Structure 1
Amino acid sequence: MTHADEPGFVSLFDGKTLDGWFSTPRTYGQIWPGGPTIQEAFPGVIADNYNEEAAKHEAVWTVEDNAIVGRQDSPGNGWGGYLLTEKTYGDFELRFDANPDWPADTGIMLRKKPDTFHGFQVLLDHRKSGSIGGFYGNGISGFHAVPFALDVKTDANGTPIGLQEDDPATSIEKFTQAKRDLLTEHCSVEEFLATWKFNDWNAFRILFVGAKPKASVWINDLLIASIDFAAMQYPNYNADDVADFLGPKGHIAFEVHDNDKNLGEGRWGRTAACRWRNIRIKEL
């Protein structure tokens, strides 16, 4: 199905079923191509049998009110997963709407490997000290290229009512200028906060082009961040190695994050969900 007002775009979601998609558990592997695994590099951070246990607790993906909804497989169990397109994509423009609960640490994977966590990620870390619209390197060095970090605003009863800039004094994942400097373009946190719709739908547009890609993210028509992965300099990131490792095409995927010792349910709330709708793509 094409969208009459968006020539060249094709729908990836029929609004009723998960036809064209498949799910996998959220597992871990080498933290850069040819590098150590997380267990080898950071002993004790995750269990040696983590991947085997994760396979028993895939995230649950449903269709509700014409939207894809992702949740952990039982409230508060702490395991995650991915929902992937069956088809692989190289260069494209991707558009969709997203509506995450607070807290829900999710993201959009690009050129993702089918059975591992490896790929480029557009961040939708809707939790304390998270960032939205920047980039992360899943298993391709762990680069964190973001323009700002966020926290939640609450009312007098402690109910979340919106987002605000993360306070460095209370941050659990400090924002640094070095993270912003990985980007070629970015908006200000004030511009982002003025456009983000809390507890509502937000329109994403992602442009992703090149063997060693250039990428840009817009939310509600505001350019959030751009990056040039061919030129980016980061420890253990080699653009040629990543291009060879991921290949010219990969899956697009949505994420339900697992919880960890540091953030616990601050990463994914006990009953949290993220919702996705109007998912369409134009191959370039």
Structure 2
Amino acid sequence: MNNKQQTYTPLFDGKTLRGWHAVPRLPVPRAPGLPGPDKTSEAYQRALQTSGAWTVEDGAIVGRQDPPGCGYGGYLLSDDVYGDFELVLEVRPDWPADTGILVRATALGSQGFQILLDHRRSGNIGGIYGNGIGGFHGINYTLDALYDEQGRPVGLRLEDPATSIEPMTPDKPALLEEAATGEQFLSVWKWDDWNEFRIRVEGASPRITVHINGLKVSEIDTATLQHPDYDAEAIRQLLGSKGHIAFEIHDNDPGMGEARWAPDAACRWRNIRIREL
């Protein structure tokens, strides 16, 4: 085994955003070949005006909407692109904060394989979503918060599928080759604390494996994935063999509003390192 295989390379120096750049969170077609957004629309033009607020605080990258509560998000992309790799990092999202980690992402940021970090009602953490590449949703549970007597969120719980904003239909877990149960996920997740993600990406149409705090939460084989809007060959042509790593600040939408990203919410990422395979 050579040094490249053994050694993790830091992607964040803990002090600056050197090696990273921000881009707006622009709408894209659901999949290659489908109609795109109206670039003359007010919403599209407004999205162009912000890339989110990205800072370094206490040794972590911090992402917020800019200005706070504006309802528009952004992406922070690695300057470099990566093909096959194992990525390890720690995350700490506020509630609610709808975010994610994209791999093999295009320069837009909004096209790639997203490891979900939807820390909000009806969200999933650790599943895999086809961001601009078919909209497939490989998840095995949805989440909500536990609240104390004062109405403050104090932890996570499994959501009743019957009340979910995003229905937990049987096709979603069927996309995953392996998946932890919601109970297993909750047994390792640390509320209001740092949680470690380990993400392995390997193959032209990659097999993606996600561990959170040592638990294998999901595994998907996008070479054999079957979904109405997913075309493996078209996705390979769009994304290429290498792509950016991206962190997301989500927009707010008419359906969820501030329940998707609270005005004062942030997500934090630290100890970001990669091992190319």
Interval containing the TM-score (normalised by the shorter chain): over 0.9
Q: CA deviation at 1:168?
A: 2.4
* Aligned-partner Cα distance in 1 for 2:236–2:180: 28
Q: Matches of residues 105-184 of structure 1 in structure 2 within 5 Å?
A: 105-184=98-177
Distance 1:116 1:82, change over 3 A: closer
Q: CA deviation at 1:270?
A: 1.1
* Aligned-partner Cα distance in 2 for 1:270–1:33: 33
2:49 maps to what in 1? Answer: 56
- Paired residue type of 1:83: L
SS where residue 169 of structure 1 aligns?
A: helix
Counterpart contact for 2:75–2:109, Cα < 8 Å = no
Counterpart contact for 1:68–1:276, Cα < 8 Å = yes
> Aligned residues: percent identity?
53
For these two proteins, the number of residue pairs brought into alignment is 274
* Aligned-partner Cα distance in 2 for 1:115–1:262: 25
Task: Report Cα offsets for 1:88-125 as digits up to 9, x if no partner.
Answer: 00000000000000000000011111125111100000
Q: CA deviation at 1:38?
A: 4.9
1:85 maps to what in 2? Answer: 78
Q: Which consecutive segments of 4 or more residues in structure 1 shift more than 3 A?
A: none
1:220 maps to what in 2? Answer: 213
* Aligned-partner Cα distance in 1 for 2:52–2:143: 25
Counterpart contact for 2:96–2:261, Cα < 8 Å = yes
2:237 maps to what in 1? Answer: 244
1:276 maps to what in 2? Answer: 269
1:202 maps to what in 2? Answer: 195
* Aligned-partner Cα distance in 1 for 2:112–2:248: 12
TM-score by length of 1: 0.93
Counterpart contact for 2:29–2:37, Cα < 8 Å = yes
1:192 is aligned to 2:191: no
* Aligned-partner Cα distance in 2 for 1:208–1:116: 17
SS where residue 237 of structure 2 aligns?
A: helix
Runs of 5+ unmatched residues, structure 2: none
Q: CA deviation at 1:47?
A: 8.2
Q: CA deviation at 1:55?
A: 1.6
TM-score by length of 2: 0.96
1:103 maps to what in 2? Answer: 96
The alignment yields a C-alpha RMSD, in angstroms, of 1.6
Counterpart contact for 1:29–1:116, Cα < 8 Å = no
